[in-house]
Amino acid sequence: MAILKILHFPDSRLYTKAKQVKQIDSKIQNVITDMFETMYAAPGIGLAATQVNIHQQIVVIDVSENKNQPICLINPNITSADGQQSTEEGCLSVPDIFEQVKRAENITVQAINKDGEQIVLTTDGILSVCIQHEIDHLNGKLFVDRLSSLKRQRIKQKLIKQQRNK
């Protein structure tokens, strides 16, 4: 088990579109374990493989208060979405930035779990937001890309300045 390095905006690798996982083998299982460990240590409620420079369609999530309800989605695909909600979002790849983002309120997602089984989740609330946010990462998109270009540019400048001052 290892804590992986999380890429930070505006790193261009965050815009890489992830490839489908062809086979769930021990290497993929290890990636999933490391991603959960990284997410919990950060601490966060979701992490996409793209954020740790692994460009495969793997997402780990745990929105529970006690961090005891881990969800792994491999090759996730949203099959239905309706309603709209606006929620303040943050991101491990965009540290210390929180902005209102509009997303679907209710979603159904199909995926493969860590055991290789097909699953279907229908959800709303924070889990719905988190799944949509993480799938955006797999598609090479960040939550700041859903903001105005002016807001995005300000955030980019702030983070670049913070990185220089470290």
Would you please indicate which residues are annotated as catalytic (active-site) residues?
A: 134
Give the whole-angstrom CA distance, residue 55 versus residue 86. 28
Of 85, 88, 43, give the one whose Cα is nearest residue 63: 43
Place of tokens 């199909």: 110
CA distances from 135 to 49, 89, 141, 158 (A): 10, 14, 9, 25
C-beta of residue 34 within 8 angstroms of C-beta of residue 2: yes
